[in-house]
Amino acid sequence: MIKNVHHVGVVVRDIEQALGFYRDTLGLRVHKIQTMDDQGVRAALLTLGDSEIELLQPVVDDNGVARYLERRGEGLHHVCFEVDDVDGDLRALQKMQVELIDQEPRIGIAGRICFLHPSAMDGTLVELCEPIPS
């Protein structure tokens, strides 16, 4: 069901400052920067071979990313696995009684996505993503 690491999500306080390292020092290419007002986050996607680094900066005080930053500080936030059929995989996980955050896929910056609950994965927040062809 899982094809690849689609991206690794990193929470930062300030995307512009973080790009000083990821883009300017490591030389990674930024292919998208977008503020998602409905999710209260600003995201930058950097190309890394077949995968991506997703930098996430909260732009509100009361969402999961803001609470993560407050509680744990900057750092690795989630890993996203690419799948072909996010609906089918979500149903399969529901049948296996895996604890989920999203019971239905929704649209994220990377495509049609859903998040599993960290308790399902020993504390690791996992996202599944079925990319939408651009």
Residues that bind its own copies (CB under 8 A): 1-5, 8, 10, 12-13, 17-18, 21-22, 25-28, 48-51, 72-79, 81-82, 93, 96, 98, 118, 120-125
Nearest-5° Cα angle at 4, 16 to 27: 30
Distance, in Å, from the CA atom of 34 to the CA atom of 42, rounded to the nearest integer, reads 6
Question: Cα dihedral sign for 36, 69, 15, 120?
Answer: negative
What is the closest distance, in whole angstroms, from the C-beta atom of residue 40 to its own copies in the complex?
A: 19
Q: Which is nearer to its own copies, 4 or 34 (CB)?
A: 4
- Give least dist CB 62 to its own copies, A: 21
- For the bound state, the minimum distance from the C-beta of residue 100 to its own copies, rounded and expressed in Å, comes to 12
For the CB of residue 44, give the shortest distance to its own copies in the complex, in Å. 12
Judge whether 84 and 128 are in contact, CB under 8 Å.
no
User: What are the Cα distances from residue 108, in Å, to 38, 115, 128?
Assistant: 10, 11, 11
Query: What six digits make up the tokens of 111?
Result: 């495509």
* Residue linked to tokens 């920067």: 33
